[in-house]
Structure 1
Amino acid sequence: MNRRHFLAASTLPLLSLAVPGVVASAPAQPAPFDRSVVRQMARDLAGKSFKAPDNKLPDNLKDLDYDRYRAIRFLPERALWRGEKLPFEAQFFHRGFFYNNRVDIYEVKNGQATKIAYQPDLFSFGDLAPPGAGVDLGFAGFRLHAPVNKPDYYDEVCVFLGASYFRAVAKGQLYGLSARGLAINTGEAKGEEFPSFKAFWIEKPAANANSIVVHALLDSESAAAAYRFTIRPGDTTVFDVEMAIYPRIDLERAGLMPMTSMFFFGPNDRKDVDDFRPSVHDSDGLAVFNGRGEELWRPLHNPRDLQISSFADLNPRGFGLMQRQKDFFAYQDLESSFERRPSLWAEPIGDWGEGAVKLIEIPTKEEVHDNIASFWQPKSALQAKGEHTYTYRLHWGPDTPKPTALARFSRTGIGARGDNATLFVLDLIGDRLKSVDPKTLRGVVTAEKAKIQNIVTQPNPASGGWRLSFELLKEKNPVEIRASLMQENEPISEVWVYRWTP
């Protein structure tokens, strides 16, 4: 999938916000609804053979290219709850382009669910002929709007569109990386399975609400699942997620809390790059707070070959694909504004047992592809015909939700040091470094089956932090490296971990 088109398709320009209106409901009678309904539907689905999603479309809507699909625009004056002075509104996506699968969407109010009717007059079609009246195509997905940046303007805050993908932004941010409902066999040689959301139920919010609830039904060849999202926009946009998975088969490679992003190049990885910009990425590193109390930072890179890293753990505290570099001059891109892309932090609620945070790095020669994936993979398979429930929290925002006292790595620079060594230059920042006694500070660097030399620590007056540098003697094989700052025998920084490949 062309990532640039994917992002643009989900952020089609809005029209006037001043005209009142409302999406009409389907003529079908409302049905009773509570949080148990979707779980029962998922349970029932898992007990049957998988049925592929409905992707049939009228001839004039088949095989649309990006530009013709982009011409189909939802009319904002027809938004759900427009003119009711509620804290949220919903708009819908037409099917076509990459998004052929039908998705049914329901409004829930007063304990009753009513299907939202597809109507051609909800959209403008450019030079395409709209479907005839009475044709029920369903939708491809939806987006929610709320007054986040200005009290009188409804900004787009999240979008559910394509397979089980969804994205969100916080105040002042632009769309970047994505989350998913469920990952199956990601990075496996036999190929990945892509579960899809089949239906959504959006609960009508109260007039004074600061959150909105969305339920979702997911299905795939190997499993069905039910979700309940409680979404709170703000300086950090938070999703509280309740998930129940019903496998049809034993899921040995299930990815929970999955997220995908893009890393093209940066100061640690500019091989074969001829570009005016210093960096191009939506995320620059994977952060992990593991169950042992360690805080890890793994800078991302664009490898020559597929790379899979595994961080084994017991009851993880959280992980995320982060965009730490927030300075325009690190990117110099007026169009993409990578410095405004959100970080995404996944926080398990409760004890999740044994497993691993997985990191998948896929080679790419273009920035339009999401080539980074990360998720939690349980050690034990999710057994078929069982119910597997998880609760977690997603934080879309500028940083991890809880501040750390440890110094953090803010930049990783890598380059040649003559013919026989590679130089690593790591910058660290943090309040704890401002009052440190230089005589008590030392850098600790280790590497498996490789020689490290010339470890140097020194203040960095430009950042107010410190710089740790070292040399890795030339190697023919990949090398796993760990580095940190110590004050005497106590860690004063998070742990930098990296897989160097020749």
Structure 2
Amino acid sequence: MTVTDRRRVLAGLSAALCATAAPQALLAQQPEQAPPQPRFGFEEVARRAREIAAVPYEAGPALPEALTRLDFDAWREIRFRPERALLAQSNSGFRMQMFHPGFLFTRPVTVNVIRDGVPMPVPYAANLFDYGRTKFDKPLPVNLGFAGFRLHYPLNDPRIFDELISFIGASYFRVLGRGQRYGLSARGLAIGAGMPGGEEFPIFREFWVETPTADAERVTVYALLDSPSVAGAYRFHIYPDGDSVVDVGAALFPRKPIEKLGLAPLTSMFFTGENDRRFHDDFRSELHDSDGLMIHSATGEWIWRPLRNARVPAASSFVERNVRGFGLMQRDRVFEHYQDLDLAYELRPSYWIEPQGDWGEGVVELIELPTTDETNDNIVALWAPKLALEPGREFRFGYKLTAMVDSSDLHPGGRAINTYQAKPKALGSGEPVTENARRFIVDFAGGDLGYYLKQPEKVEIVPSIAYGRINRAFLVPNPKTDGFRAFIDIVVEPGQLAEMRAFLKSGSKTLTETWSFPWRAPDAS
């Protein structure tokens, strides 16, 4: 009986008592009911974030030295026992396994499971894990906590619980769709990325996972974010599919002014590709988790920026207002370009970000760092809002992240599928090469380009350059790609960084996305 129903019954009893002079004892027989407890949800996490933002940041307890000394191989030996997976009692398609703390993951986190709206912490227990060949001299503390967790779902086979998403390390998470292999990562927040003073890495310090119903097609995770500069509440609705989707909502509560904030940050690796041949001592000609940044601007323009293994740290900014989308993409899906039987770079997902609500003015920023091998994440893409965050001002935002293999359906136009560079002269030509000149070769394919191969003279290239000059630009039909190959010859002053752009059109009709690429001329010797 609800409070409203009880009031109605009591009102009826009062009227009857007035008419019959019944004893007052009848009213006392109606039991009082406590108001229902509110269900745990995002606003409760936001309340906690608001409270901790009002007090100084505390780093939390340290791990035992036995765990901090673990190297990667010893930490990897510690595996969660699949038969102990959580969420199984709901008979849903989701299962949860925990990561053991240690190695790089030295900040224990608390993980809770929400049942019937009530959260309960998952206690650490040594019998949850198989320690393999990793041994410890004495038992580990019973209140150890976890490094993070992962959720499983039958993505590829109805009989097998494949890994769907993992949360481990700072505010990192990674999600997979059907037939995909882990590559790039997403993060909850970036602070000071690419700045000279170094980056601050907020952490998810506590998680709450809602127990899904038996027929659930999604699972929900809440997270409490914390760092010296900000506290925050996050909500993740996770939808497993061929292209899995994570719907993210967040509320931030700054402790102090934040000079540079990065929303929806993505982190990836680019070591070598067809546009960067500096590293040759490997049978694999391309090694990258992503090969380009794609942007859908508020004006409707689509922009493609191939990634580089930069010689020095570099940042590129694309000024926008209410950007429609951006992402780090892996376009090249040809195994022969990678030749890696184990790592399967051709199956690494692309992550596409679609903002929800008004993100206002800001920039899509691409940060490229030098790396000498494929083990380092050296690429970051994020949205940096123009509006600075100040203490006492709550900031809310949301976006959708899609993990995909085929991104060709995102826009109907032609795409830049290859980028090469060479000396600006034809093979065997006696034409002199201008100092600090370079030729860029771009293959455009898709959209209506195949149609125009029947009359290629109707297609023209529209090139532009900042801080340099274009010597010439021309097109050649490319029946191998059902598109066109563009040649752009540029000249740049020694040491100068030039920014190029190019797209194809027919009359007033734009046929392709805009290819964008920087190039720095060598310093004068």
Same fold (TM over 0.5): yes
Structure 1 residue 83: Cα displacement: 6.2
Q: Which residue of 1 aligns with 2:176?
A: 169
Q: Which residue of 1 aligns with 2:121?
A: 115
Which amino acid in structure 2 is aligned with residue 117 of structure 1? P
Matches within 5 A, 1:71-220: 71-82=77-88, 84-127=90-133, 128-129=135-136, 132=139, 135-220=142-227
Identity of matched residues, %: 43
Give the aligned length: 472
Structure 2 runs not aligned, ≥5 long: 1-36, 426-432
Tell me, yes or no, if the aligned pair for 1:413 and 1:425 is still in contact at 8 Å: yes
2:485 is the alignment partner of 1:467: yes
Structure 1 residue 129: Cα displacement: 3.0
Structure 1 residue 392: Cα displacement: 0.7
2:293 is the alignment partner of 1:286: yes
Tell me, yes or no, if the aligned pair for 1:74 and 1:123 is still in contact at 8 Å: yes
Structure 1 residue 439: Cα displacement: 2.4
Structure 1 residue 312: Cα displacement: 0.6
Q: Which residue of 1 aligns with 2:257?
A: 250
Structure 1 residue 47: Cα displacement: 0.2
Q: Choose from 485, 493, 502 the match for 1:483.
A: 502
**CA deviation vs aligned residue, 1:357-383 (integer Å, no higher than 9, x gap):** 011000111110000001001101012
Structure 1 residue 474: Cα displacement: 5.2
Please report the RMSD computed on the Cα atoms of aligned residues, expressed in angstroms.
1.7
Mean Cα deviation higher: 256-265 or 414-423: 414-423
CA–CA distance in structure 2, aligned partners of residues 113 and 31 of structure 1: 11
Tell me, yes or no, if the aligned pair for 2:447 and 2:511 is still in contact at 8 Å: no
Tell me, yes or no, if the aligned pair for 2:421 and 2:440 is still in contact at 8 Å: yes
Structure 1 residue 447: Cα displacement: 1.1
Mean Cα deviation higher: 164-173 or 485-494: 485-494
Q: Choose from 315, 327, 345 the match for 1:338.
A: 345
Which amino acid in structure 2 is aligned with residue 462 of structure 1? K
TM-score normalized by the length of structure 1: 0.91
Tell me, yes or no, if the aligned pair for 1:120 and 1:131 is still in contact at 8 Å: no
**CA deviation vs aligned residue, 1:425-474 (integer Å, no higher than 9, x gap):** 11111131121242210011111232223322122111112211121235
Q: Choose from 429, 433, 440 the match for 1:424.
A: 440
**CA deviation vs aligned residue, 1:302-331 (integer Å, no higher than 9, x gap):** 111110111011110010000000111121
Distance 1:413 1:32, change over 3 A: same
Mean Cα deviation higher: 36-45 or 273-282: 273-282
Mean Cα deviation higher: 468-477 or 193-202: 468-477
CA–CA distance in structure 2, aligned partners of residues 273 and 282 of structure 1: 18
Tell me, yes or no, if the aligned pair for 2:207 and 2:222 is still in contact at 8 Å: yes
CA–CA distance in structure 1, aligned partners of residues 412 and 194 of structure 2: 35
Tell me, yes or no, if the aligned pair for 1:53 and 1:198 is still in contact at 8 Å: no
Q: Which residue of 2 aligns with 1:495?
A: 514
Mean Cα deviation higher: 59-68 or 406-415: 59-68
Structure 1 residue 130: Cα displacement: 8.0
Q: Which residue of 2 aligns with 1:372?
A: 379
Tell me, yes or no, if the aligned pair for 1:252 and 1:380 is still in contact at 8 Å: no
Tell me, yes or no, if the aligned pair for 2:363 and 2:384 is still in contact at 8 Å: yes
Tell me, yes or no, if the aligned pair for 1:322 and 1:399 is still in contact at 8 Å: no
CA–CA distance in structure 2, aligned partners of residues 242 and 145 of structure 1: 22
Identify the structure with bigger relative contact order (alpha carbons < 8 Å, sequence gap 6+): 1
Structure 1 residue 31: Cα displacement: 9.7
TM-score normalized by the length of structure 2: 0.87
Tell me, yes or no, if the aligned pair for 2:42 and 2:233 is still in contact at 8 Å: no
Tell me, yes or no, if the aligned pair for 2:474 and 2:486 is still in contact at 8 Å: yes
Tell me, yes or no, if the aligned pair for 1:92 and 1:140 is still in contact at 8 Å: yes
Q: Which residue of 1 aligns with 2:276?
A: 269
**CA deviation vs aligned residue, 1:405-441 (integer Å, no higher than 9, x gap):** 2111111111223653322111111131121242210
